Amino acid sequence: MLHMIEHVFKEQNLVAAFAVIGAVMWLSLAISKRFTAGRVHGSAIAILMGLALAYAGGLMTGGQKGLADVPVFAGIGLMGGAMLRDFAIVATAFEVDVVEARKAGLLGVLSLGLGTILPFIVGVAAALSFGYSDAISVTTIGAGAITYIVGPVTGAALGADSTVIALSIATGVLKAVIVMVGTPFVARMIGLDNPRSAMAFGGMMGTVSGVAGGLAATDPKLVPYGALTATFHTGIGCLVGPSIFYLGMRALMG
Amino acid sequence: MTVSGVALLAISTLLGVFIGDLLGLALNVKANVGGVGIAMMLLIAARVWLTRHGGMPSGIKLGVEFWATMYIPIVVAMAAQQNVVAAMRGGPMVVITALSTVALCFAAVALIGRHGRDRKHEVEVEPELERGGKVIAGAFQPGDPEHAIAVAREV
């Protein structure tokens, strides 16, 4: 019996993922209503639950893809993978107020620039204070603070050590997780309640998964504005990481 | 036809990602440069074009908005496949870097997000924003007001 259920889950993996995620969403909404009187967004709880499931899945399988590495939940990997995620993000653009987005365009560009430079400086400072002294390692760790894709792309381009690349990925992933979980708590403090600041937020925080999760948990109406700028972040990071940033670091460190 | 909406979304996404790849190639970057962002702009342009040329067929709207309403569940599935174990085991340098980066960037958002705010305009677009938020949250009801402002206003 159990074996047969397992078989159905494996064979119909995407459909099973819809059911599992549906159950997680339903449970989260119920928790939000009953225990927090709606003060904590249902989506915020659902994302936390997702992360907790990812942690459990990672411990169970020792894999890198959280719950999706458990064979019966493999469909989660397809449902939450880059393809459908990007598809859904693009769909949210249908709800964008064009005037608002155009007006905040310059702000988005400014935040993209700052959002690439500031994390890099923090990453470089941390790498230096933890004893890394060669330009390649320092640049790779700094790039990891931009997003978890910029780190390994930069590291691979520069020929960095694999442990250093692993550290840069871990930094980027942790950054994404903190953004997902932390955004709803600081949203009011940083004025994240309108399209303008959402566009600044997207460019500043960078990580698409972090921004996608953080805004969904804060206020769904801000999602498309943040996503619009955030999706440029990784590309820009990969552009400047192995080039300008590395040359700059090499010039500074001799 | 609902599928025309899904197809419109698919074409926008494919075109955007393709242009992003081309941009990456042109800039000699091993990554897609803003593909999804470009796709979003293409879809926005398509919406504007459709509303100007005789309104938005409800099939197209349904096809696109269905996927917008799936956004949060998909994000939850995305969260469920993050490498959280690696993120937790990163060690002090990883934790310090990630925490201070996020804190600094939050502060920067607070600073530049405030710049040049236009509260009057925000009040005007509020109903449309609320509707968009409801769609993305998956809480839009058939009886709720439509894109009242977006249609009436020239864009």
Work out the minimum CA distance from B80 to partner chain A, whole angstroms.
Answer: 4
- Interface size A-B, in CB pairs within 8 Å, comes to 360
Rounded to whole angstroms, how far apart are CA atoms B126 and A219? 13
Structure tokens at A219: 């206020």
Chain A residues touching B88 at Cβ < 8 A? 55, 174
pLDDT tens for each residue of A16-38 = 999 999 999 999 999 988 988 87
- Reported ipTM: 0.85
Rounded to whole angstroms, how far apart are CA atoms A27 and A48? 12
The answer to whether the Cβ–Cβ distance between B79 and A99 falls below 8 Å is: no
Rounded to whole angstroms, how far apart are CA atoms A101 and A200? 11
pLDDT tens for each residue of B56-77 = 888 898 999 999 999 889 989 9
pLDDT tens for each residue of B87-108 = 777 788 999 999 999 999 999 9
pLDDT tens for each residue of B105-124 = 999 999 887 765 666 666 66
* Closest to A96 (Cα-Cα) out of B99, B107, B42, B87: B42
Which of the residues B8, B67, B105 would you substitute to probe the A interface, choosing the one with the greatest number of A C-beta atoms within 10 Å?
B105
Rounded to whole angstroms, how far apart are CA atoms A194 and A198? 6
pLDDT above 90 as % of chain A: 47
The answer to whether the Cβ–Cβ distance between B39 and A101 falls below 8 Å is: no
What is the residue whose two structure tokens read 């020792």?
A62
Domain ranges, ordered by start, for chain A: 2-80, 98-253
Rounded to whole angstroms, how far apart are CA atoms B69 and B90? 35
Chain A residues touching B116 at Cβ < 8 A? 107, 196
pLDDT class of B26 with cuts at 50, 70, 90: confident
The answer to whether the Cβ–Cβ distance between B94 and A171 falls below 8 Å is: yes
pLDDT tens for each residue of A198-247 = 999 999 998 888 898 899 889 988 999 999 889 888 888 888 888 889 88
Work out the minimum CA distance from A137 to partner chain B, whole angstroms.
Answer: 13
Average pLDDT, chain A: 89
pTM, to two decimals: 0.84
Work out the minimum CA distance from A223 to partner chain B, whole angstroms.
Answer: 8
Rounded to whole angstroms, how far apart are CA atoms A78 and A82? 8
Work out the minimum CA distance from B49 to partner chain A, whole angstroms.
Answer: 12
Answer for the pair A167, A154: CB distance below 8 angstroms, yes or no.
Answer: no
Work out the minimum CA distance from B79 to partner chain A, whole angstroms.
Answer: 5
Rounded to whole angstroms, how far apart are CA atoms A170 and B45? 38
pLDDT above 70 as % of chain A: 100
For residue A99, with 0-12 CB atoms within 10 Å meaning exposed, 13-18 middle and 19 or more buried, which class applies? middle
Structure tokens at A209: 């998964």
Interface check A71 vs B, CB under 8 A:
no
Facing A119 at nearest CB: one of B61, B65, B105: B105
pLDDT class of A60 with cuts at 50, 70, 90: very high
Interface check A101 vs B, CB under 8 A:
yes
Chain B residues touching A85 at Cβ < 8 A? 74-75, 78
Give residue B119's pLDDT.
63
User: Residues near A234 by Cβ (< 8 Å), separated by ≥ 6?
Assistant: A146, A147, A149, A150, A206, A208, B31, B32
Rounded to whole angstroms, how far apart are CA atoms B76 and B137? 12
